[in-house]
Amino acid sequence: MRRLLAGAAALLAALLASTTPAAACAGLIGPNGAVNLLRTTTFAGYHDGVEHYVTSFQFAGGSGQFGSLVPLPGVPAEVIRGGDWTLQRLVRETEVLAKRGAFPLASAASAQDAVVLQQVRIDALDITILKGGGDAVGRWATEHGFRLPPDAPEVLDFYAARSPIFMAAVFDADAAKARGQKIGDGTPVHLAIPTSAPWVPLRILGLGKSAQDRVDADVYLLTDARPQMLPAPIGLNGMRIGHSAAATASLLNDLSSDKGMGWVPSSAWLTKVVIDGSAAQLKYDLAISATAAAPSPVAAGLESPSIPVPVRSELPALAVFAISGLSLVALGGVLLLRSPNHRTANG
Amino acid sequence: MALVTTLFVTGACAPAAPRRIEIRIHYSKFEPSTIQVPAGVPVTFVIRNDDPIDHEWLIGDAAFHARHRAGTEPVHGDRPDEVSVPANTTKTTTLTLPAGVYAYICHFPLHEQYGMVGAVTARS
């Protein structure tokens, strides 16, 4: 799947090669611990202080349950079934254009249990929004059958130090089959997350991978203006700009007509960030600002927060967002084998 | 490899109390990862797992670890040289090691590759 745009044909090829369920934003950890790389695609928009994140979980056959843990910058106000064509339309838009042209980590809540904030069932997908420190979320995941890789404790703490909110998604392949879902059918999920500090979690994409393993992902950003990013995608750091231009009217019209996408503004800037690096390179996230203010090094994971980051469960004053303008954030995720027995091949 | 389990004997000739070594598991690493102990003397290893995921502490020679890399036992705990350490728990085991170098490894999938390896040197 290297160097391929995540078009329908490429995605289908990847799914056919796999016998397990796959998420659009995932690295898959198989029962033998091997990691199968799939190119991933995510989209999120930030408008009026609300981040809209859309990803899709693809049914690729097989049976059993698979899960995904996704760090979030805030508590979702809404978790709904996503639109039917948003991700595909974004891929098509940028394909056409392309042819033309370590710090100390805090885990304040580690001694407490994770708190379940929301639970939503979407098709064959069970979504749980969790609040807690890395230790608490890790324990919750383990107790609920997630088999976490050895780097999970450090990675979960890395995220929890900035935002102790996570989404756990469990895809039930048996339920998908019972529902009549065919291989390749996707379940799009759309989260609306109030936040004033958008960031793209890239480090989570390397979860469970060895240092030299590749991470491939396409992250679509839609902002009011051309965004500043930290670190800047310069290619040498495992990410590069694949597309950067004013969003076309036809794209905005198509996006806004999809389910739950009425928030899409009448003008915006479309950026595609291609993640193409080793897991060892992706030790940071992608902070974004569409204003004159520079992106936050704390949001990028390059600096430790000086004080614990509050959990934003409500929209702050609208004035904050009036000067923030629009920016866009996409969220990473990782697919983890979910099994009642945590061990499969140890001594 | 057979490690000799300490037998506690009461009486006038009771051996000295086992030496105590604390090992912390944090972010899927052993701390410390190198230890020196006297050979032929009971040593109590206190293994504290501060991670939210399960680990194990298996100590032995190369042949011992080769067996466990391909093993399928779901849990350990009945043998002093094979200790399961569930998330956020502490386990204790006492061993008397003949002179030599022994590796301690977590053989959960990917854990050894991630660096969950340490070494005990038992000196006469």
Is the pLDDT reported for residue A223 higher than 80? yes
Distance from A326 to chain B by nearest Cα, in Å?
37
**pTM for the structure as a whole:** 0.75
Q: Give the residue among A253, A245, A191, A189 at the shortest CA–CA distance from A222.
A: A245
Contact B53 A142 (CB under 8 A): yes
Most A CBs within 10 A among B106, B110, B112, hence the mutation to make, goes to B110
Is the pLDDT reported for residue B14 higher than 70? no
Residues of A in contact with B70 (CB under 8 A): 347
Does the CB of A212 have a partner CB in chain B at under 8 Å? no
In whole angstroms, what is the distance from residue A196 CA to residue A325 CA? 10
Phi, psi of A231 (to 5 degrees): -70, 155
Q: Which long-range contacts (CB under 8 A, 24 or more apart) does A96-103 make?
A: A97/A243, A97/A245, A98/A5, A98/A242, A98/A243, A102/A283, A103/A303, A103/A304
pLDDT of amino acid B72? 66
Q: Give the residue among A80, A72, A43 at the shortest CA–CA distance from A312.
A: A72
Helix axes A86-100, A249-256, angle to 10 degrees: 170
Q: Give the residue among A221, A198, A224 at the shortest CA–CA distance from A326.
A: A224
Q: Which of B52, B56, B114 has its CB closest to that of A346?
A: B56
Phi, psi of A188 (to 5 degrees): -75, 140
- The string of pLDDT tens digits covering residues A95-143 is 644 443 333 333 444 458 999 999 999 888 889 999 999 999 999 998 8
Does the CB of A306 have a partner CB in chain B at under 8 Å? no
Place of tokens 């039930």: A172
Q: How many Å separate Cα A153 from the centre of its chain?
A: 19
Contact A33 B110 (CB under 8 A): yes
pLDDT band at B17 (very low <50, low <70, confident <90, very high): low
Residues of B in contact with A345 (CB under 8 A): 71-72, 109
Distance from A212 to chain B by nearest Cα, in Å?
12
Contact B108 A150 (CB under 8 A): yes
Contact A32 B27 (CB under 8 A): no
